A and B are shown apart, each in its own frame.
Chain A
């Protein structure tokens, strides 16, 4: 599903590459934790999958396509197959919960009938039934992150990318979010999650890829946060 082939990525101003010689392959249905200190290259890894940035050298494949050679106008098509969740939720505060989720479908031109059908289903799946008409500010952090996950998942992407989704949440709430991501993973969606949350990684026992100064220093199935 995702394949990094000898990927090096250097930002113009930086002395060290953000990623260096990374070789990683993620299969369909996999759940992968991306761990490492701040600045270890986790975000660059995720940005490469989204083609927000391109590798300086090497190749990135998503769903069999070499995306660094993808024409600019095809990038939106790639991103429709990838859902993204962030630490800071990134909701639109002037729209209701349902509108926030519908927004993701509206802007890619889905028909209204489709949106009317899919949005309530998705909100129910993330556990927000009955809160469709609330504004984001009226919700707790965990609920806001559920809205963000609903928005990322509403178009049934092949891949879900989560960049520290529990970074702003208390441990109990985090567990709920992780259960939700696990459920999404079980529907066949590949999940790649960058995190600093030791407890969660240790509890879930999923594949762990550890980055250090842009290099993969550990790639372990059913791993834990720290070296075991």
Chain B
């Protein structure tokens, strides 16, 4: 089989089916970009999990004088109440370790945080006094996902104002991320189906336009591969353009949005160029597989030797 022949036939085919080729490229581009975005979102969710997951601690806020919770009827937490809490934390099987934070430490931490904020909210922070703060225990769990047992064991104790765990705080973000992920993947899935059907259509058109050539090729004893190769090249070229465009779009997104805008704030770990590369590799493989397999199936159907 002459490569020159394969390439020139593929080029003729691409020109002949220009509108179909463009449709295929656009569908590929959009669907692969969506899949890539889904992968980046997934990577981002993983990054967030890594960052927060290891630090997901339960904070047990003890009563101060202002506390209104029923368990704080006695006002400021007493030493026996604190001992009772410590006793539970020491004996609970899910607790890895815990540390105590005094009112002063809590106040210092707040002031430190205030300095990082813009100046407009400084007034708010300056009205808070050491005595407004809560004493607290920060509890690290053996398994951050099994926070409920510890929470239940402590929440009702006297002198405990409330138990806060970051899961409750973060779950809306997680839910949002996974909803975006599911949405992107569902949408991408629908478009991938469209892309596969377009591959099929392109081949049908090409097979029709080239039926005379194909007939002659079969008669003179060309092998199946020689007959299929120009078709394969044709759809592969369209797929490659789609993949390159979508890789470009993802790269632009990571460069402009993630590196340019989001990474300047350091609250969470953001995805990096490695995640981008992985996403691009995945869509490249997906794009190629999704054109090669329908092409081979369709050409087998139409071009049986």
Q: A106-B5, A109-B1 are in contact. Are A76 and B216 (CB under 8 A)?
A: no
Q: A90-B212, A92-B212, A92-B213 are in contact. Are A109 and B226 (CB under 8 A)?
A: yes
Residues of B within 8 A of A90 (CB): 212, 215-216
**A108 x B212 contact (CB < 8 A):** no
Residues of A within 8 A of B222 (CB): 76, 107-108
Among residues 186 to 217 in chain A, which have CB atoms less than 8 Å away from a CB atom of chain B? Answer: none
- Most B CB atoms within 10 A — which of A73, A82, A106, A109? A106
B221 contacts partner chain A, Cβ-Cβ < 8 Å: yes
Majority secondary structure, B binding face: helix
The A/B interface has a contact count, at CB < 8 Å, of 59
A72 CA to B223 CA in the complex, in Å?
10
Chain B's nearest CB lies how many Å from the CB of A189?
A: 15
B218 contacts partner chain A, Cβ-Cβ < 8 Å: yes
B113 contacts partner chain A, Cβ-Cβ < 8 Å: no
- Chain A interface size band reads 20 to 34
**A104 x B1 contact (CB < 8 A):** no
For residue B213, which residue of chain A has the nearest CB?
Answer: A92
Chain B's nearest CB lies how many Å from the CB of A150?
A: 12
Residues of A within 8 A of B224 (CB): 73, 76
Residues of B within 8 A of A81 (CB): 221
A125 CA to B216 CA in the complex, in Å?
21
A112 contacts partner chain B, Cβ-Cβ < 8 Å: yes
Among residues 79 to 133 in chain A, which have CB atoms less than 8 Å away from a CB atom of chain B? Answer: 79-84, 90, 92, 103-104, 106-109, 112
A103 CA to B217 CA in the complex, in Å?
8
**A107 x B217 contact (CB < 8 A):** yes
B305 contacts partner chain A, Cβ-Cβ < 8 Å: yes
A133 CA to B220 CA in the complex, in Å?
22
For residue A148, which residue of chain B has the nearest CB?
Answer: B216
B2 contacts partner chain A, Cβ-Cβ < 8 Å: yes
**A106 x B2 contact (CB < 8 A):** yes
A151 contacts partner chain B, Cβ-Cβ < 8 Å: yes
**B220 x A108 contact (CB < 8 A):** yes
Q: A108-B226, A112-B2 are in contact. Are A76 and B221 (CB under 8 A)?
A: yes
Chain A's nearest CB lies how many Å from the CB of B217?
A: 5
Residues of B within 8 A of A44 (CB): none
For residue B210, which residue of chain A has the nearest CB?
Answer: A92
**A107 x B305 contact (CB < 8 A):** no
A64 contacts partner chain B, Cβ-Cβ < 8 Å: no
Q: A108-B220, A109-B226 are in contact. Are A76 and B2 (CB under 8 A)?
A: no
**B219 x A84 contact (CB < 8 A):** yes
Residues of B within 8 A of A104 (CB): 216, 220
- Most B CB atoms within 10 A — which of A50, A76, A78, A151? A76
* B220 interface neighbour in A72, A73, A79, A112, Cβ under 8 Å: A79
**A107 x B220 contact (CB < 8 A):** yes
A104 CA to B213 CA in the complex, in Å?
10
Chain A's nearest CB lies how many Å from the CB of B303?
A: 12
**What are 15 A-B contacts defined by CB distance under 8 Å?**
A72-B305, A73-B224, A79-B219, A80-B220, A82-B221, A83-B220, A84-B219, A90-B216, A92-B212, A92-B213, A92-B216, A103-B213, A104-B220, A107-B217, A108-B221
Query: Chain A interface (Cβ within 8 Å of chain B)?
Result: 50, 72-73, 75-84, 90, 92, 103-104, 106-109, 112, 151, 155
Q: Identify 18 new A-B residue pairs, CB closer than 8 A, beyond the known A76-B221, A90-B215.
A: A73-B223, A76-B218, A76-B223, A78-B221, A80-B220, A84-B219, A90-B212, A103-B220, A106-B2, A107-B5, A107-B222, A107-B227, A108-B223, A109-B1, A109-B226, A112-B2, A151-B216, A151-B220
